[in-house]
Amino acid sequence: MSSVILPLAIMFIFGVGNFAIHRAVLESGHPLVEQMPNFVQLLGGRLTLVAEFAVLVAAMLLAANGWPGVIWVYAGYSALNAVSGWMMLSGRI
């Protein structure tokens, strides 16, 4: 059990970073954010944060139940989020 705690803590930290980037992009007023469907915009983008939470919980549950490869997949997902968020917030897209 203790061998799972550190990977889950790392995934949780990645999740916090993903939420921070996601929120910053939602609040940036970027044109791509404005092009989201109306049902997503009605909640102020919170629906996408719920989806982000679901991805984090699913990844953590899989990792805790014997799927250690999910940790690497979530790390890659987090890296892609970081790069795309940086590109949108810096005006490169």
| Averaged pLDDT, 15-43 | 84
In angstroms, the Cα distances linking 8 to 14, 38, 41, 45, 84 are 10, 35, 32, 27, 24
Phi, psi of 65 (to 5 degrees): -110, 35
Q: What percent of the chain has pLDDT over 90?
A: 53
Using the predicted structure, report yes or no on whether residue 45 has a pLDDT greater than 80.
no
Q: What is residue 11's predicted lDDT score, i.e. its pLDDT?
A: 93
pTM for the model? 0.84
Q: What is residue 27's predicted lDDT score, i.e. its pLDDT?
A: 87
Question: What would the two tokens of residue 26 be?
Answer: 């939602």
Up-side HSE of residue 8: CA atoms within 13 Å toward CB?
15
